[in-house]
Structure 1
Amino acid sequence: MEQRVSLITPAYKAANVIEQTIRSVQAQSYQNWEMLIAEDCGPDNTREIVSALSRSDSRIRLIEASHNGGPAAARNLALGQASGRWIAFLDSDDLWLPEKLERQIAFQLETKAALTFTGYRRISADAARTGAYVTVPDAIDYRGLLKNTAILTSSVMVDRRQTGPIHMQRCYYDDFVCWLNILREGGAARGLDEDLVRYRVLDASVSRDKGNSARQVWKTYREIEGFGTVASAWFFAHYAARAALKYRRF
């Protein structure tokens, strides 16, 4: 139980991809995990697919939301039932390579970091195309994260022994705000620069709406982090420059 990894997966209209995501977890070389899938009242048959797979693998658990509350609420439902020391985040359309958990736990124990994240590649919606490898920095602190897009949610693992309970704030970038909260309290974030995750780029992906994403980043600076206009503009300029480089290639 001490070294169990609790996987947090919010799911909404994920019927076309959720089985592939689950299979990538089942293929892990590290097998002491539980996968908590919070289905957020979508109109498709996501919950039926997850329920069927959970019957043959008790480590997969379906959590059914009572109403559609968005990704933060779904993640909080799953976090409320997590039993592991390690919390790993995996979105319903992304994939892990087989050594991901094994390599990341070893790295986290070695570095004693509160939060770790890994490198990744983008894949197309049908997984037919794979993009260039996206490298990650060796380490990042609170101020560094404010001006960087380095951390992919599906690559993150958190040590609850160091952070205590994890709660996602109800906002557009609940994941980004969560990492900021951990780092603001002095937690260390270390990057494992290895190709361990596949980030699926969907045509309707929220994160691909760059205009809205930029507005929400600005809102995070001003309303959540409480920065003034000048400080927000300084951080945003760095963020925008890095984001432009990041998305220049598939």
Structure 2
Amino acid sequence: MSPVPVSQAEPAHPLVSVITPTYNAARFIRETIDSVKRQTYPHWELILIDDASSDDTVPIIREELADPRIRLIVLAQNSGAAVARNTGISAANGRYIAFLDSDDLWLPQKLEKQVAFMQERDAAFSFTRYRMIQEDGTHTPYVVPIPEKIDYRGLLKNTIIGCLTVMLDKEKLGTIQMPNLRTRQDTALWLNILKQGHLAYGIQEELSQYRRVAGSISSNKWKAAKNTWRLYRDIEKLSFASAAWCFVHYGWNAWKKNVGQT
């Protein structure tokens, strides 16, 4: 499908701004970009924010800039994923904001189906099921199950929403900004939105693929647990008893998820 310039996106087909932070992502970034270019929904812009990479990430991205829907912002110094994502959000022109990390992938109908779902449900926040894939791209049999909808208390107990699957409606939510945290900034944003009374609606279909990369922050379960506890206590300001109650549920759900991957 030939590119459709951003300026030609029709009102009936709202523009989706895809936010992709990159840092030393040369191994995977071309495949990630290709998964966006293969979308059956052509009304998107891809904003890549490079967080001071020291490898060939930026030269690889520059080769993709012939597509007018793809934009690159290069940060002068490494500032973390929250700053990179917020920089992209500030530069976004679309009604909808979607997130895709630099090593993850989308299935071709992801945007088409998710935009239609958002419009049909009049939803401000949606997410999808996603499959775990190995570092080399090999599929695992595990597709992460998700609820049909989740509220603030539910997400505290089960951090099930994959960042690569999320779509947000700026018209309904207003200002969207991730807390300036090194980790869990995405979950902190989801909690902030749900705390305002919104619900997140789950699309019961695998539309995204999460790459398990050795040495990544998310691959360290102990650090993930510690960061979740800090999120409860330092960001959400839960009492010790409430945080402990949520943490027990979080641990149980994380264990079930890990068992499903083995």
Query: Aligning the two structures, in what range does the TM-score lie when normalised by the shorter sequence?
Result: over 0.9
Identity of matched residues, %: 45
**Is 1:42 paired with 2:48?**
no
Measured in 1, the distance between the counterparts of 2:63 and 2:144 equals 34
- Note the C-alpha offset of 1:114: 1.2
- Note the C-alpha offset of 1:249: 3.0
Paired position in structure 2 for 1:75? 85
Q: Secondary structure at the match of 1:53?
A: coil
Paired position in structure 2 for 1:188? 199
Q: Secondary structure at the match of 2:87?
A: helix
**1:233 equivalent among 233, 244, 252:** 244
Whether the aligned pair in 1 keeps the contact of 2:52 and 2:76 (CA below 8 Å) is yes
Paired position in structure 2 for 1:120? 130
Paired position in structure 2 for 1:26? 37
Gap runs ≥5 in structure 2: 1-8
Cα deviation digits, residues 27-78 of structure 1 (max 9, x gap): 0000000000000001101011111111x21111111011100100100111
Gap runs ≥5 in structure 1: none
Measured in 1, the distance between the counterparts of 2:198 and 2:51 equals 30
**Is 1:137 paired with 2:147?**
yes
Q: Which amino acid aligns with 1:21?
A: T
Measured in 2, the distance between the counterparts of 1:139 and 1:239 equals 17
Measured in 2, the distance between the counterparts of 1:112 and 1:180 equals 20
- Note the C-alpha offset of 1:204: 1.2
- How many residues in Structure 1 have an aligned counterpart in Structure 2? 249
Cα deviation digits, residues 129-180 of structure 1 (max 9, x gap): 3332222110000000000121000000000011111111111211000000
Cα deviation digits, residues 178-212 of structure 1 (max 9, x gap): 00011011112100010110000001121111111
Q: Secondary structure at the match of 1:80?
A: helix
**1:157 equivalent among 148, 167, 192:** 167
Q: Secondary structure at the match of 1:6?
A: strand
TM-score, normalising length: structure 2: 0.93
